[in-house]
Amino acid sequence: MRFKLFGEHTGLRVSELVLGTGNFGTRWGYGAEPDEARRIFDAYAEAGGNFLDSANGYQFGQSEEILGDLLAGRRDEFVLATKYTARTDPSSGILVTGNSRRAMTSSVEASLKRLKTDRIDLYWAHMSDGVTPLEEIVRGFDDLVRAGKILYGGLSDFPAWRVARAATLAELRGAAPIAGLQVEHSLVERTTEYELLPAGEALGLGIVAWSPLGGGMLTGKYRKGEKGRAEGFGGKVFQAENSPQRTAILDTLIAVAEEVGVTPSEIAIAWVAAKGSLPIIGPRTVAQLQNNLAAAKVTLSPEQIGRLDKVSANPPIFPYTVLDDPDTQQLFTGGKREQLDAPTSVVA
């Protein structure tokens, strides 16, 4: 497995595939028993993986507890990421949930205990609660960094405008920078390409993509009658094959997989990686892990990426319906659009 620098605000060297541990445990009624989780963890480490992603609420805290046991004696070999915001278990009340500093400090202490470690490498705000000011989140992350309890802070499932404001506030105030962005991204969830992915790239954030397999839909297994997350998580974190476009996406994905001689899963993960994000794989079994890891060896041709892009494309939205129009671009380039060498990276 190859390694990449995590964004432009850290020197972290992380593996190209992230191990998501939402399936570590069975308190949700669906997941991997501790022994299977250990086998998954060991196989991922043996393959060269070093980036772990968890959350306080995964399996009602059991995911972090299992990780704490697995990391014993080898903590420094991994970049450990976890999250706060959502409730840990059904007893979690209003003061320990949301994005507030109160919830952040309470959650980080509890996660440190479950993980059996003295620091969390990357601490995510799991999702935007829509009410906590970004100033409070940025200051909270900065205080935890200064206290040595976390090394970096990041935002998961936040609107792009809030991500941009948080990153700007941290920069202007000399606080610990917002280091990472976590979003859903797959061939059946490309709306993040409108604003979130360009924002993350322009702001120099390390970007990780969850559910690159659309909750298993892009494996093709549901066409064979398998249930997986369609029932295991109560139908949540799952993309159904519920439209002609999604059927065409899966048909094209299977066709490309047959051309390359690999599984649809490998192609779907490789496509996300080709777009610049670090895919989070979330296997429940060692067999699923091995299949996911094989995606790191897949190289898609420009023609294959183009076919997948075309079949999965979203309709353009404002203001890009205006800004990407060639006639409009002639207006703001003085009629020299074809002669302008534009930058290859996104500009903030």
pLDDT of residue 237: 74
Q: CA-CA distance, 41 to 38, in Å (whole number)?
A: 5
| The two structure tokens encoding residue 253 | 């994905």
Mean pLDDT of the chain, nearest integer: 96
Q: Residue 66 — pLDDT band, cuts 50, 70, 90?
A: very high
pLDDT digits (tens, 9 = 90+) for 321-339: 999 999 999 999 999 999 9
Residue 159: which of 194, 135, 185, 187 has the closest Cα? 194
Q: CA-CA distance, 206 to 182, in Å (whole number)?
A: 8
Distance of CA 98 to the CA centre of its chain: 20
Per-residue pLDDT at 149 exceeds 90: yes
Residue 292 has a CB neighbour count (10 Å cut-off) of 27
- Residue 261's SS3 state is coil
pLDDT of residue 345: 86
| Domains of the chain (ranges, CATH numbers) | 3-314 (3.20.20.100), 315-348 (no CATH)
**Which of 154-158, 180-184, 218-222, 268-272 is predicted least confidently?**
218-222
Per-residue pLDDT at 7 exceeds 90: yes
Tell me the CA end-to-end span of the chain in Å, nearest whole number.
31
pLDDT digits (tens, 9 = 90+) for 126-143: 999 999 999 999 999 999
pLDDT of residue 225: 78
Residue 241: which of 221, 266, 264 has the closest Cα? 221
Question: pTM, whole model, 2 decimals?
Answer: 0.95
pLDDT digits (tens, 9 = 90+) for 172-210: 999 999 999 999 999 999 999 999 999 999 999 999 999
- Residue 269's SS3 state is helix
Residue 207: which of 273, 135, 269, 297 has the closest Cα? 273
Helix axes 264-274, 286-293, angle to 10 degrees: 50
The pLDDT of 275-282, averaged and rounded, is: 97
**DSSP state, 32?**
B
Per-residue pLDDT at 344 exceeds 90: no
Asked if residues 302 and 181 have their Cβ atoms less than 8 Å apart, the reply is no
Residues contacting 17, CB < 8 A, separation 6+: 1, 49, 51, 269, 273, 278, 279, 281, 292, 293, 295, 296
pLDDT digits (tens, 9 = 90+) for 96-106: 999 999 999 99
Per-residue pLDDT at 229 exceeds 70: no
* % the chain with pLDDT above 70: 97
pLDDT of residue 143: 98
pLDDT of residue 54: 98
Q: Which residues are catalytic?
A: 58
Q: Which amino acid is at 158?
A: F
pLDDT of residue 233: 61
Asked if residues 132 and 98 have their Cβ atoms less than 8 Å apart, the reply is yes
